[in-house]
C-alpha cells in the first residue's frame, strides 16, 4: 500500500482517525500536568485539498466533504466538535481548502505547558512539516525512523502523554512491526496512551494487530473499527481496496469507549459507501 498521505488527506480514514485523536487529547488536557505528544510518522502537517495529489485521488469527497455538506447534529456534533473546530481553525489560518494533519491538530489541542515531538524521515516532507509548525516553540521536528523513535523517546520527562503510530503501510510486515514496536515501548512506558492507526483491507488481518498486542501481555487494549465498503476501481498496482480503518488504543482515557460507541454509528452512516457499512468497539484486553 503506497500511503503518501497527500493522496488521502481528508478521506474517511482521516475523519475517523482525527476525530478520535481530538477526543483523546481533549481527555488528556483536562489535567493540569504537562504531557508529551509523539507522532511517529508525522507527514507534512497541512494539506491542500485542491493540490495535485488530493485532486487526483478525490478521496476527500467521501470524507471531510460529507461533513461539510451536512454538518452533524446532536450527540455527534458534540463529539466531533474538537475535531471540526480544529479543521475550521486550519482553514481560517491557511485557506478554505486546507486540511490539517495530525501534527497540526495536536498542536492546536495542546497547551503551553505541553510538548510535541514529530518524526518524519522523508527530508522533503520533514522540511514542509517544519515550515508548517515553525512558529510553535513547543514543537520539535526530527528526522528519525518512527519505530526507532518509539523506543528512543519513551518514557518522556513529562511522564504522561500520547503516542500516535500511523505508518505508511508500504511494508508487507507492517502489522507485525507495529505490534513488536508497541510492546517494546510499553515495557518502557506502561502508563502512556498509545493510538495505532491501520488500514482495513482484510478484516481478519487488521483485527490481528490488537490480538497480537494483547497476547504479548499488554493490558487495557481497545479496538475501534470503521468499515465503509469499497468504492471505485481497484488500487493502482492491484491488491484489495481499502474498505475501512481501525485504531488500536492502549490505555484509552476513561469514557472514550462510551464515546466511541456513540460516535461510530454516525460515522458509519455518514461515510458509508454502497453496501452495509459497519463499526466495532472491542475491549481486547481489560485491566
Active site residues: 166
Pairing of strands 36-39, 161-165: parallel
Across the chain, the runs of DSSP E, i.e. the strands, are 36-39, 46-48, 98-100, 115-119, 139-142, 161-165, 193-200, 221-227, 244-250, 278-285
Distance (Å, whole) CA 51 – CA 99: 11
Rounded to whole angstroms, what are the CA distances from 113 to 23, 38, 201? 19, 15, 39
- CA 258 – CA 64 distance, rounded (Å): 23
CA distance 14 to 57: 14
CA distance 3 to 192: 27
Residue 184: is it exposed, middle or buried by C-beta count within 10 angstroms (0-12/13-18/19+)? middle
Q: Which three cell numbers stand for residue 15?
A: 475523519
- Are residues 19 and 83 in contact, defined by beta-carbon separation less than 8 angstroms? yes
Amino acid at each position: 500500500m503506497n500511503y503518501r498521505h497527500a493522496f488521502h488527506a481528508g478521506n474517511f480514514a482521516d475523519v475517523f482517525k482525527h476525530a478520535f485523536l481530538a477526543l483523546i487529547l481533549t481527555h488528556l488536557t483536562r489535567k493540569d500536568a504537562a504531557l508529551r505528544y509523539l507522532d511517529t510518522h508525522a507527514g507534512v502537517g497541512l494539506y491542500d485539498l485542491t493540490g495535485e495529489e488530493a485532486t487526483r485521488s478525490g478521496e476527500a469527497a467521501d470524507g471531510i466533504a460529507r461533513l461539510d455538506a451536512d454538518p452533524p447534529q446532536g450527540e455527534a456534533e458534540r463529539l466531533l466538535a474538537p475535531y471540526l473546530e480544529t479543521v475550521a481553525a486550519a482553514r481560517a489560518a491557511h485557506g478554505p481548502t486546507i486540511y490539517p494533519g495530525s501534527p497540526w491538530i495536536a498542536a492546536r489541542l495542546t497547551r503551553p505547558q505541553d510538548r510535541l515531538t514529530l518524526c518524519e524521515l522523508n527530508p522533503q516532507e520533514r522540511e514542509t512539516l517544519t515550515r508548517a509548525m515553525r512558529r510553535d516553540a513547543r514543537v520539535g521536528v526530527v528526522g528519525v525512523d518512527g519505530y526507532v523513535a518509539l523506543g528512543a523517546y519513551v518514557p518522556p520527562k513529562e511522564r504522561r502523554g500520547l503516542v500516535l503510530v500511523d505508518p505508511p503501510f508500504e511494508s508487507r510486515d507492517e502489522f507485525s512491526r507495529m505490534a513488536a514496536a508497541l510492546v517494546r515501548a510499553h515495557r518502557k512506558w506502561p502508563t502512556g496512551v498509545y493510538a495505532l492507526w491501520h488500514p482495513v483491507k482484510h478484516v481478519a488481518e487488521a483485527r490481528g494487530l490488537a490480538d497480537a498486542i494483547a497476547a504479548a501481555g499488554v493490558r487495557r487494549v481497545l479496538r475501534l473499527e470503521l468499515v465503509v465498503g469499497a468504492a471505485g476501481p481497484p488500487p493502482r498496482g492491484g491488491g484489495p481496496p481499502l474498505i475501512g480503518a481501525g485504531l488500536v488504543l492502549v490505555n484509552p482515557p476513561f469514557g472514550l469507549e462510551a464515546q466511541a460507541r456513540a460516535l461510530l454509528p454516525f460515522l458509519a452512516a455518514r461515510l458509508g459507501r454502497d453496501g452495509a457499512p459497519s463499526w466495532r468497539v472491542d475491549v481486547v484486553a481489560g485491566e
